[in-house]
Structure 1
Amino acid sequence: MTRKKVVSLGLICIISVIALISSQNATYAYDIGSGSQQKKDNDCGSHSSLLINNGFSAHLNMYYELLAEKYRPEYLDAWRDISKEQAVLKRKISEAMKSGKIMHGDVIEEEWLKKHEELQTLFVQAVEQRNEKALKKIIPKVFQQQKDLNKMYKKRLEIIN
């Protein structure tokens, strides 16, 4: 793949990520501690959509894969394993939500969400600045956080099984 194609794909992915982050309908960081049931019901739709939105996941996975390939090739196989596992776990979580075994908002821990938001802020800054040193440092952290998310998904699925 030529450098121009890699850069183009990267830009497309960045735009997709920014669009997702700015969207109110699809975001990881939703309010899981909301007080009213009506608020929880409104929020769960966006989370469910994210769990089953394979189109966006494909873009995001490719973006992370390209970044790993360029800045941290030693993490490429690890990322592929993490993303494959996450796809399976998200499908299982989504099915459990649809069947009522998991109540919406009971999957991702609030502390993970806070750390995710902080890390994503640093990540976006590194990408915007094209800071290679920062990207090399943050990519393993992003991947570890996704691995931690997989552990959280597994833990939640074990509870219902």
Structure 2
Amino acid sequence: MSILGLVVLSLHMITTPVSADILVEDSEESVQEGVTSQCVDYHVKTLQPHLIYYLELVVEKHRPDLLEEWREINSEREAINKKLKEYSKEKQKDLCENISEDWYDKHAIVQEHFLTAVTEREAEQIKINIQHILTLKKNWNAEMKEVIKGEN
């Protein structure tokens, strides 16, 4: 996989509301679904730590002033995902559906801009987009914490 492919995959995995291993449902109805589920689980479990580290290195290089906050937000996200895993798969989906449509719209725009910045090696745009990604991550964490709080 190319570096560009890893960047796109990493941004998607890191900023997507819930890790794919939470939302993938195992189904005995279809062998294909089972294979897909296993592939997604494998990729998430084996690639995600690498991608998280890669993005941290990008932050360290382009926005070292945000590195500590970046780490805190990622730790918070890990705790939220751990909490989500305590619920059934169906309940996890229900909870995640409470993330605002506005968040998803912003996510798509930021993801596209970050991809362009990385593809073109535009350091200034990478710096700007790192801030936007951090803001998205904070917003997702805040929204999801409210959703979970409402469930308890």
> Which residue of structure 2 aligns with residue 18 of structure 1?
8
Change over 3 Å in CA distance of 1:144–1:105 after alignment to 2: closer
Instruction: Please give the residue correspondences for 1:27-66 in structure 2 after superposition, counting only pairs within 5 Å.
Output: 28=16, 48-49=23-24, 53-66=44-57
CA distance in structure 2 between the partners assigned to 1:19 and 1:79 by the alignment: 18
Residue 83 in structure 1 maps to residue 35 in structure 2: no
Paired residues in the alignment total 131
Identity of aligned residues (%): 27
CA distance in structure 1 between the partners assigned to 2:95 and 2:141 by the alignment: 17
CA RMSD, Structure 1 to Structure 2 (Å)? 3.3
State the Cα deviation string for residues 26-73 of structure 1 (Å, max 9, x = none).
x948xxxxxxxxxxxxxxx8861489x444432332122111111110
2:65 to 46, 51, 74: 74
CA contact (8 A) 1:68 1:139 kept: yes
Deviation, structure 1 residue 99 = 7.1
CA contact (8 A) 1:97 1:104 kept: no
Higher RCO (Cα < 8 Å, 6 or more apart)? 2
**Mean CA deviation greater in 137-146 or 125-134:** 137-146
TM-score (norm. length: structure 1): 0.67
CA distance in structure 1 between the partners assigned to 2:10 and 2:137 by the alignment: 17
The unaligned stretches of length 5 or more in structure 1 are 1-9, 30-44
